[in-house]
Amino acid sequence: MPSNRKFYRYTFTYEVLAEREFDLGDFASMADIEHEAVFGDFSGRRGETTVEVVDGAVMARLLQEHASDPEFFQLDEHGNDLED
C-alpha cells in the first residue's frame, strides 16, 4: 500500500578553510571534520540548510542511494508501507 507518511530530506553545507589540501576520505564522519575545525588546523562553520518533504517512493530511492535499506523507515523498495 502506498505510504501516506511524510518524510524529510535535510541537506546542509559545512564550509572548511584550510592552509593545506586534504582528502575528505581521511575523515570517518562529519564529527571528525568538525573536531578538526574546533581543535585542529581548520576553520569551519555550518552553512545553508534546506529541508524538503518527500513521499515514500522518493525516500525509498534516497535510502537506496545511501546504500541503506528502505526497511529502515518501514518501506519496501517502491516506497510502500510494509505490513506489520
**What is the tens place of the pLDDT at every residue in 24-81?**
888 899 999 999 999 998 999 999 999 999 999 999 999 999 999 999 999 999 999 9
Domain that holds residue 48: 7-73
Domain count, the chain: 1
The pTM for the full model equals 0.75
The answer as to whether 81 is a domain residue is no
The answer as to whether 11 is a domain residue is yes
60 CB neighbour count, 10 Å cutoff: 25
The answer as to whether 57 is a domain residue is yes
The answer as to whether 1 is a domain residue is no
Q: What cell does 51 get?
A: 529541508
The answer as to whether 79 is a domain residue is no
The answer as to whether 43 is a domain residue is yes
The answer as to whether 82 is a domain residue is no
Contact 44, 68 (CB under 8 A): no
Residue keyed to cell 555550518:
46
Of 5, 4, 3, give the one whose Cα is nearest residue 82: 3
The answer as to whether 49 is a domain residue is yes
